[in-house]
Structure 1
Amino acid sequence: MPTNGMILVFYLGKIPGFNLYSTDSDKTVALFTISILFLATCIAPLLIALALKKLKIISSLKMPNREERSIPFLLTCFCYFGAYYYLRYEQELPLNGLIFYFIFFGMFATLLGFVVTLFWKISIHMIGIGGITGILSFLSKFNQDVLLYPLSVSFLIAGLIGFSRLRLKAHNAKQLIAGFCLGFCCELFGIFYLFN
């Protein structure tokens, strides 16, 4: 989900009223940033999950039990932090500081999701799509006309993901709503707080 969100943000990066790049940049900066996020938030967690399954720490890659989700969740938080730290402090990328806020609050939502998982099962999928929807809601501040369609689509996708998770009996409605609200609020309100 973080990779999909970042691809969308870079695609919308030059909407009227908002410039994603702090200087004149080309697509290599976007590709580099997306690649690091993909490695840290998709490939690394997948490899971690495969290793945990091989070590019999988790019974399935689906991790149906709340207790099994804690270790993979925490390790994913470390991967997310590694990507954030590397992109923010180890590279001198000519990007608008908002990009780093997007990544930071995505990491923060994941960390809060880990804490919630210690006591209650929450939908990781909905945290992700909630975060993307929160980012788009924030960006709509710059140009509502351009963002209306992507924002509407993100709400539609959130509904489809929620419906599919219910249909698969992976979560109940409360877990789905809580996941969406967690991701949405972390991104939207966190960025509003720092940006204003």
Structure 2
Amino acid sequence: MISREKSIIYTARVVSLIFTPFYLPLVGLVIMFLFSYMNLLPWEYRLMVLTLVYFFTILLPTFLIHLYRRVQGWTRMELGHKRRRIIPYVLSIVCYLTCLYVLESLHIYHFVSSIVIGALVVQVMCAFINIWWKISTHTAAIGGVAGALFVFADIFGFNPVWWFCLVFAVAGVLGSARMILRQHSLSQVVGGFGVGFVCATLGIIFL
């Protein structure tokens, strides 16, 4: 029984690490590069954009937050306390703003920047809500993916049903993992998904 519980907890940790809250812009770009006119762009250009976005929105914030946690001497679980999440939010927001600055400096298509802005809106909203109520940024990210998919399906005219099935399945597994690790309650998980969906949808539509 103990071994089985350890396996479940280990699996939940792996799921949380794989589906980091920072993957929203990268997934949005992959969808756009697959289903929009941008699939006609040279693969070198698309690879460059994906690499830039990966560095500034996933690799850099993950490294900085890990470094901050090590300096403070906290475990991943201890970093999950509401008051200790403020600095990680600030670090990720700064990384996203830096990404936008680099994209604008290189005159990358505005549509690419709008995806990053949509993800930034999700981060800012989660940081704001976290002042009063601990919300799941993991499920906010997957909610953002669902929102981006909803918008892109309408703009580019493709059938998103199977993609939605995949996103909702991942959201269910991810939300369960966060609750198994006792990082969030059901309301925080569902609330995070809703915030991510709404922010990403409105952010991409109006920007």
TM-score bin (small chain): 0.7 to 0.9
Deviation at 1:42, TM superposition (A): 1.9
Partner of 1:60: 75
Instruction: Output one character per residue of 1:119-156: Cα deviation in whole Å (capped at 9) or x when no partner.
Output: 221101011111111000111113242x2211221111
Which is further off, 104-113 or 41-50? 41-50
SS at match of 1:140: helix
User: What is the rounded CA distance, in whole Å, between the counterparts of 2:45 and 2:106 in structure 1?
Assistant: 11
Matched residue type, 2:63: L
Say whether residues 1:90 and 2:110 are aligned partners: no
Partner of 1:182: 195
Q: What is the percent sequence identity of the aligned residues?
A: 21
Say whether residues 1:20 and 2:38 are aligned partners: yes
State the number of aligned residues: 185
Say whether residues 1:116 and 2:141 are aligned partners: no
**Superposed counterparts of 1:4-15, under 5 Å:** 5-7=25-27, 9-15=29-35
Matched residue type, 1:55: V
User: What is the rounded CA distance, in whole Å, between the counterparts of 2:136 and 2:102 in structure 1?
Assistant: 27
Cα 1:14/1:59, change in 2 over 3 Å: closer
TM-score of the pair, normalised by structure 1? 0.84
Partner of 2:171: 158
Partner of 1:37: 53
Instruction: Output one character per residue of 1:151-179: Cα deviation in whole Å (capped at 9) or x when no partner.
Output: 22111111111111122221001111111
User: What is the rounded CA distance, in whole Å, between the counterparts of 2:28 and 2:197 in structure 1?
Assistant: 16
Which is further off, 43-52 or 4-13? 4-13
Report if aligned partners of 1:40, 1:83 keep a CA contact under 8 Å in 2: yes
Cα 1:82/1:52, change in 2 over 3 Å: same
Q: Which runs of 4+ in 1 moved over 3 A?
A: 1-5
Q: Could you tell me which runs of 5 or more consecutive residues in structure 2 were left unpaired when the two chains were aligned.
A: 1-20
Report if aligned partners of 2:141, 2:193 keep a CA contact under 8 Å in 1: yes
In terms of fraction of residues, the more helix-rich structure is 2
TM-score of the pair, normalised by structure 2? 0.80
Please tell me the root mean square deviation across aligned C-alpha atoms, in Å. Answer: 2.1
Cα 1:134/1:41, change in 2 over 3 Å: same
